[in-house]
Amino acid sequence: MNVQTTEKSREQLHEELRKPDVITGSEILLRSLLLEDVDCVFGYPGGAVLYIYDAMHGNPDFNHLLTRHEQGAIHAADGYARSTGKVGVCIATSGPGATNLVTGIATAYMDSVPLVVITGNVATSVIGTDAFQEADITGITMPITKHSYLVRDVKDLSRVIKEAFHIANTGRKGPVLIDIPKDVSNATCEFQYPNSVSLRGYNPTVTPNKLQVEKMIQAIAESERPVIIAGAGVVAADASQELLEFVEKARIPVATTLLGLGGFPSSHELWMGMPGMHGTYTANHALQNCDLLIGIGARFDDRVTMKVDGFAPKAKKIVHIDVDPAEIGKIVETTIPCVGDVKTVLQLANQKVQAAQSDAWIDWVKTNKQEHPLRYIDSDTELKPQYVIEMINETTKGEAIVTTDVGQHQMWAAQYYKFNHPRSIITSGGLGTMGFGFPSAIGAQMAHPDRLVVSINGDGGMQMCSQELAICAINNIPVKVVIINNQVLGMVRQWQEIIYDNRYSHIDLAGSPDFVKLAEAYGVKGLRATNKEEAQRAWAEALETPGPVVVEFVVRKGENVFPMVTQGSTLDQLILGDSE
């Protein structure tokens, strides 16, 4: 189904798809996905899913993108989901096909991304016999899925699919796995797709306890030094406008986590930047001096809090708003818990919230922002990675969808690209998955064919899924692929320099391929820059090129990400680097 399908044609398609025909499990699967308005499925065929792929043959309504590795498929589905808020879908065969999805499932689970992951399995008659390409994928993935299904009867399949989409995209979102044995995909029954879902024991709390919201409002009114940490939950709940209204009414400075970037506009006077290990001076010092801390859709990850028993030591009260009750009090002791959907909580709060007594505090924050901005020592002889990110930000005016891989370039992108819109940064936060950045950009680009999608990668992570360049070339997917090449595992090198006394161990990537030739080998334009002039010229050419482009920026090998808080330190114990 084309992404641009009109509502009228969609209604017509749904009417056709709901016809109660006797069809195979494979056809049930495809119909059900179309009824869930799935625009694109990412996958890789194999023996156990051949009936499913056979059903795709000649189906003009079903859009499938063949990746070059199952991990590329699930990361693409993840990028699709993060950039749209819809459920991402991928398909793989049994055994190694399914196990190749495990890293992607864990990535989505850690970052609460809604996916429906479909795997094939051996026939039900041989499950448990160590048949060819058999793996217990439901058992393997149990700790990293919201729920898993092994469908043993074709009559259950449509119900299971309906439930899977509901579970994946409600409450705290996450991946759901559906394992379909080969004989089930070929069995037949009358197709009836459920209109609704009712699951006993699964009723996520959406509406909060109003008394807790009242307590938060009272705490704000009494506060002189309030701070908000806004996380991925703000984006997942589509609550950016509600947060903006809340902040402006309550007059509270905001720090956005890595996955919360864009959930509150970086151009706003009350935005302080990202907190934590590589957070800004202003955000970290504000957290250490606040008298009221409000966590909104943030789980107080260890890279945000750093030394937990030294985190926010002056906060008399800590409010935690989260849809998942298991997160509240898990890391940081919470004074006022607010369990509920972030959007709903903020809508309730906005009806009554009054400004904090924060005028002097806001002046203090603004002074810190002016006196301690992000800094780096620029160079006219070497290309600095920070300069590259700033250039990308300026030329795209902060309007691109930016995906990143994991490492130093990820932190530079978070620091120097200014995100003003939700769902404009796609990055692996919780699991820190190298190889994620490029295929996730493909998923985002498939979801937004008219948007500029920029994938920022290191020379290490790029080599983990570079084979997906093939599908960009074949399908003319116009992702602009940036490689920040410092010829080393940069973040590992930085830790070995600062924490391990310059004992550099197995980090040299100097033997990497010529990325320009690699791109060209796949039929993609490749460009390289080693100084500012070349960088500007190459990037301009990339933006003017209608199709996919790889741009390699050869940067200084020894550049570090600052500020930095080392493990075991508190947030105000920042290493600022040579620039301060």
- Per-residue pLDDT tens over the stretch 472-500: 999 999 999 999 999 999 999 999 999 99
First-last CA distance in the chain: 54
| Strands (E) located in 208-331 | 226-230, 254-256, 271-273, 292-296, 317-322
- pLDDT at residue 11 in the model: 87
* Structural domain includes residue 240: yes
* Structural domain includes residue 201: no
How far is it, in rounded angstroms, from Cα 304 to Cα 170? 26
Q: CATH no. for residue 100?
A: 3.40.50.970
Known active-site residue 1:
no
Q: Could you tell me which residues are beta bridge partners of residue 273?
A: 255
Identified catalytic residue from 27, 36, 70, 390:
70
Supply angle C-alpha 358, 360, 366, rounded to 5. 100
> Do 175 and 117 fall into the same domain?
yes
pLDDT of residue 3 exceeding 50, the answer is no
- 3-class DSSP state for residue 489? coil
> Do 179 and 215 fall into the same domain?
no
Ramachandran sector of residue 423 (left: φ over 0; alpha: ψ -120 to 50; beta: rest): left
Identified catalytic residue from 491, 494, 515, 562:
491
- pLDDT at residue 578 in the model: 73
- 3-class DSSP state for residue 117? strand
Read off the pLDDT of residues 164-183 as tens digits, 9 standing for 90 and up.
999 999 999 999 999 999 99
> Do 296 and 416 fall into the same domain?
no
Known active-site residue 564:
no
How far is it, in rounded angstroms, from Cα 386 to Cα 382? 12
Identified catalytic residue from 133, 347, 467, 496:
133
- Mean pLDDT across the stretch 256-263? 98
Read off the pLDDT of residues 407-425 as tens digits, 9 standing for 90 and up.
999 999 999 999 999 999 9
* Structural domain includes residue 577: no
Known active-site residue 16:
no
Of 321, 275, 550, 314, residue with least CA distance to 437: 550
Known active-site residue 491:
yes
Q: Which two tokens stand for residue 411?
A: 């932190």
The residue to which tokens 């130093």 are assigned:
408
* Structural domain includes residue 30: yes
Burial class (CB in 10 A: 0-12, 13-18, 19+), 329: middle
* Structural domain includes residue 196: no
In total, the chain counts a number of residues equal to 580
> Do 133 and 214 fall into the same domain?
no
Whether 85 contacts 238, CB under 8 Å: yes
pLDDT band of 8, cuts 50, 70, 90: low
How far is it, in rounded angstroms, from Cα 305 to Cα 420? 24
Identified catalytic residue from 162, 173, 182, 317:
182
Ramachandran sector of residue 553 (left: φ over 0; alpha: ψ -120 to 50; beta: rest): beta
Share of the chain above pLDDT 90, in %: 95
Q: What strands lie across the sheet with 525-529, from one edge to the other?
A: 425-426, 401-404, 453-458, 480-485, 549-554, 525-529
Read off the pLDDT of residues 286-304 as tens digits, 9 standing for 90 and up.
999 999 999 999 999 999 9
Domain with 271 in it? 210-372
Of 326, 332, 351, residue with least CA distance to 213: 351
* Structural domain includes residue 44: yes
Whether 407 contacts 489, CB under 8 Å: yes
Identified catalytic residue from 132, 224, 241, 541:
132
State how many domains the chain has.
Answer: 3
> Do 180 and 217 fall into the same domain?
no
Q: Which two tokens stand for residue 206?
A: 């959406």
> Do 333 and 298 fall into the same domain?
yes
> Do 410 and 525 fall into the same domain?
yes
20 prior amide bond cis, ω within 30: no
> Do 182 and 226 fall into the same domain?
no
Share of the chain above pLDDT 70, in %: 98
Known active-site residue 191:
no
Whether 392 contacts 474, CB under 8 Å: no
Of 470, 476, 473, 477, residue with least CA distance to 455: 477
> Do 364 and 414 fall into the same domain?
no
Whether 102 contacts 79, CB under 8 Å: no
Q: Which two tokens stand for residue 524?
A: 């993609």
How far is it, in rounded angstroms, from Cα 433 to Cα 326? 24
DSSP 403-438: EE-SSHHHHHHHHHS---STT-EE---SS--TT-HH
